[in-house]
Structure 1
């Protein structure tokens, strides 16, 4: 009986060992299969990455080619025609952004070319105007110099010619002085230094410069200006403004006329009004009187070169001020000079 039980026990142990071996082999097979599957997945993933990278690189290279070709075409068109191809403002791509920047550069270059062309035209016009203004007094002076060289010229004619010659030289000196002022202002050689100063002092100095001219024509000048009134201005150059406007008022006002000066102040500006009882300015000429070398049809018989009011406008502009005109033919003119308070 004992032998029988021992045999059964041994048989059960052997069977269990066989099962353990079989299960172990199956586990190993499963592990090997799982490992092989993982390796296969890794290989497939690497292949997919390589293929995807290749496609992306190819796409990027194609985009770069399109980008370069488009930029080249735009640059070529800018060089040949000064303009760009039409671009889409709704795309948010590198090409669109680059084209936008290139468009801005094109616009900037276009503006610079236009300004350069305008400057060249202004320079040509200025040279032509100066040549025209200088030519007349020089030609007249040469004519009278030739006449004065005649031996049989009477003393009366000689004195008359000398007087005319002196007038032509004075006119030429006046012209050159104003041209010098104009050129120095335009190129910035003279920089204005506006300060808050009393208006009465600047106005008084300008009146002193033109007082003799007013007395010669028996023109009365009245002034209303409170002593404490101040404004932002450069004393020297603003004095030039007052002197030019007053000189014109005297020049175009008949004998025994009147010139009134009043100074008032508002929130932003101190306003100097200079009114005369002169010949006035036609309405269609008022916008032109501040142009360089412009002279109205009804004043061409008067001495002048047409620079004074141009200088007035430029000086006031540099001081952040401006000038306006109200005029009626036969009744006179009123020039309102606006100077900034601060």
Structure 2
């Protein structure tokens, strides 16, 4: 207790007041002096006992907090009948519970980050290995046509790597919460046109038939740039699934409750066990011929859900996959 400045000051003040009272008592008469001594001693002893008990409780609380700071799993603070200490106990218990929850969340985030970094390294290693192989073949290829073919393959790999890195950066920005969506009214047909614009030439080169049924005048709320990115990622998935000579169909349904876009391809669809995992990050399915990186659909879902919409996928009864993006009114 004597380590505390306030207690030392109080002890000095109490001693001075007690000495003055005793001196005044003995100045009056001996009985008054003895009474003053007994009264000062009783008050001093009572104050010392109660103050020592209070500081003992505070020391126990400090010890428990020190255990928490050294990663103790549990915190135990005895119940106190005193008002101030009881409030302090309650607040410290709530604080430590919150700290423990945050620590658990940080551990999970670290584990998720470690898994994500491992997945990213794996995703980048594949095209880099292929590019190195192509460069070695290019170095030893005497035929001009063969060299041009190898250069085209290398260029495609670097384009894929650029898309992969760009998508990973977008995912990282969304995870960090630094993306501010610009909400406004979007014309549904304009949204589909913006999503399709970079894909029209690849569709033509692969002879993919495109059919759209999006009425004019239908509007949704959202960020046009990010939502067109989401739709484009679904269309890329459908293009890979449909393959050469395939078909893609885009429809829009509007009612008083929601606006829904459905995108269907003519591919083989999904295995039933894959449907719950399609929008998981880095999930590529069981198909060995899958060319994607498992990022596009995860990015699509994050963009749509962050703006109040939903995205689902299922197999069409007549074959192929169907993606549905629904935006409530």
TM-score class, shorter-chain normalisation, is 0.7 to 0.9
Task: Determine which of 105, 119, 128 is the counterpart of 2:109.
Answer: 119
2:237 aligned residue (245, 248, 271): 248
Alpha-carbon spacing, 1:125–1:90, altered in 2? closer, same or farther (3 Å): same
- The 2-side partners of 1:261 and 1:130 are apart by 32
Distance in 2 (CA, whole Å) between partners of 1:238 and 1:159 is 37
Q: What is the match of residue 296 of structure 1?
A: 285
- 1:117-157: CA deviation from partner (whole Å, max 9, x where unpaired): 22322332232222212222222222222222227x23343
Cα distance in 2 for residues equivalent to 1:281 and 1:325: 9
Q: Which residue of 2 aligns with 1:100?
A: 90
Measured on the aligned residues, the alpha-carbon RMSD in Å equals: 3.2
Q: Residue in 1 aligned with 2:138?
A: 148
Q: Which has the larger displacement, 190-199 or 328-337? A: 328-337
Q: Hey, what's the Cα distance between the residues in 1 that align with 2:48 and 2:252?
A: 78
User: Structure 2 vs 1, CA of residues 331 and 90 (structure 1 numbering), >3 Å: closer, same or farther?
Assistant: farther
Larger radius of gyration: 1
State the Cα deviation string for residues 199-251 of structure 1 (Å, max 9, x = none). Answer: 22111221233223333343333323332221111011101111111111121
Q: Which structure 2 residues correspond to residues 48-127 of structure 1 after superposition, within 5 A? A: 57-58=47-48, 60-86=50-76, 93-127=83-117
Matches within 5 A, 1:82-231: 82-86=72-76, 93-150=83-140, 153-231=142-220
- The number of residues matched between the two structures is 298
Instruction: Please say if 1:282 is aligned against 2:271.
Output: yes
Q: TM-score normalized by structure 2? A: 0.77
CA distance in 2, matches of 1:161, 1:146: 10
1:182-204 per-position Cα deviation (integer Å, ceiling 9, x unaligned):
23333345421111222221112
Does the CA contact (< 8 Å) of 2:284 and 2:290 recur in 1? no
Match of 2:325 in 1: 337
Cα distance in 1 between the residues matched to 2:79 and 2:92: 13
Alpha-carbon offset, residue 92 of structure 1? 7.6
Structure 1 residues 237, 50: closer, same or farther in 2, change over 3 A? same
Q: For 1:290, what is the secondary structure of its paired residue?
A: coil
What is the distance in 2 between the residues matched to 1:315 and 1:140?
A: 31
Structure 1: which 5+ runs fail to align?
A: 1-42
Given that residues 209 and 245 in structure 2 are in contact (C-alpha distance below 8 angstroms), is that contact kept between their aligned partners in structure 1? yes
TM-score (normalizing by structure 1): 0.75
Deviations 1:85-107 (A, max 9, x none): 44578978433332221111112
Whole-angstrom distance in 1 between the partners of 2:39 and 2:324? 80
Deviations 1:248-268, CA, capped at 9 Å, x for gaps: 112101444433222223455
Q: Compared with structure 1, are the counterparts of its residues 92 and 232 closer, same or farther at alpha carbon in structure 2 (3 Å cutoff)?
A: farther
Instruction: Give the secondary structure class of the aligned counterpart of 1:252.
Output: helix
Q: Aligned partners of 2:206, 2:149: CA distance in 1, in Å?
A: 23
Measured in 2, the distance between the counterparts of 1:227 and 1:310 equals 29
SS in 1 for 2:250: strand
